[in-house]
Structure 1
Amino acid sequence: MNTPLSHANSRVKEARKLSRRSVRTERRLFLADGPKAVEGALTVPGCVVEVFATVAAAEQYAALLVDVPQLWLVEDRAMDSLSDSVSPAGVVAVCRFLDVDLADVLSSSPRLVTVCADVRDPGNAGTVIRTSDAAGAQAVVLAGHSVDPYNPKTVRASVGSLFHLPVVLVDDPGQVVRALQEAGLTVLAADGAGEVDLFDADLAPATAWLFGNEAWGLPDELAALADHRVSIPIHGSAESLNLATAAAVCLYASARAQR
Structure 2
Amino acid sequence: MITSESNGQIKELIKLQKQARERRKTKKFVAEGIKMVLEAINFDKLDKLYVSESAFDRTAQRLGDKLERIPYEVVADNVFKQISDTVTPQGVLAIVNMPEYDVKEILSDERKAWVLLDDLRDPGNLGTIIRTSEGAGMSGVIMSKESVDLFNPKVVRSTMGAIFRVKFCYVESLIDIIEEIKKSGYDVYATAMEGSEVYDCVDYTKGSAFIIGNEANGVSDAVFEKASKRIRIPMEGKLESLNAAVSAAIIMYEMARQKRK
Q: TM-score, normalised by structure 1?
A: 0.91
Which residue in the other structure is 1:200 paired with?
201
| Residues 160-169 or 34-43, more deviating | 34-43
| Cα offsets for 1:165-188 (capped at 9, x unmatched) | 111111211012122223443211
Please tell me the residue identity of whatever aligns with 1:237: K
Which residue in the other structure is 1:158 paired with?
159
Which residue in the other structure is 1:212 paired with?
213
Q: Is the 8 A contact 2:212 2:219 kept in 1?
A: yes
Which residue in the other structure is 2:6 paired with?
8
Which residue in the other structure is 1:143 paired with?
144
Which residue in the other structure is 2:257 paired with?
256
| Cα offsets for 1:111-170 (capped at 9, x unmatched) | 321111101111211111111112111211111310111111111111111111111111
Shift in Å, 1:79: 2.1
Q: Which has the higher helix share?
A: 2
Shift in Å, 1:24: 1.3
| Residues 105-114 or 241-250, more deviating | 105-114
Which residue in the other structure is 1:44 paired with?
43
Q: Is the 8 A contact 1:114 1:208 kept in 2?
A: yes
State the SS of the aligned residue for 2:39: helix
Q: Is the 8 A contact 2:190 2:211 kept in 1?
A: yes
Distance 1:257 1:145 in 2: 32
State the SS of the aligned residue for 2:227: coil
Cα separation, partners in 2 of 1:209 and 1:59, compared to 1, 3 Å: farther
Distance 2:101 2:65 in 1: 28
1:108 maps to 2:109: yes
State the SS of the aligned residue for 1:52: strand
Shift in Å, 1:40: 2.3
Percent sequence identity over aligned pairs: 32
Cα separation, partners in 2 of 1:242 and 1:78, compared to 1, 3 Å: same
RMSD over aligned Cα, in angstroms?
1.8
Q: How does 1:148-187 map to 2 (within 5 A)?
A: 148-187=149-188
Gaps of 5+ in 1: none
1:22 maps to 2:21: yes
Shift in Å, 1:194: 4.6
Distance 2:14 2:145 in 1: 28
Distance 2:56 2:71 in 1: 12
Gaps of 5+ in 2: none
Distance 1:5 1:100 in 2: 38
State the SS of the aligned residue for 2:170: strand
Q: Is the 8 A contact 1:31 1:94 kept in 2?
A: yes
Please tell me the residue identity of whatever aligns with 1:11: Q
Which of 42, 46, 51 does residue 53 from structure 1 map onto?
A: 51
State the SS of the aligned residue for 2:47: strand
Shift in Å, 1:65: 6.3
Cα separation, partners in 2 of 1:186 and 1:77, compared to 1, 3 Å: farther
Cα separation, partners in 2 of 1:26 and 1:151, compared to 1, 3 Å: same
Distance 2:195 2:211 in 1: 12
Q: Is the 8 A contact 1:5 1:72 kept in 2?
A: no
State the SS of the aligned residue for 1:216: coil
Distance 2:184 2:64 in 1: 41
Shift in Å, 1:237: 2.1
Distance 2:141 2:54 in 1: 35
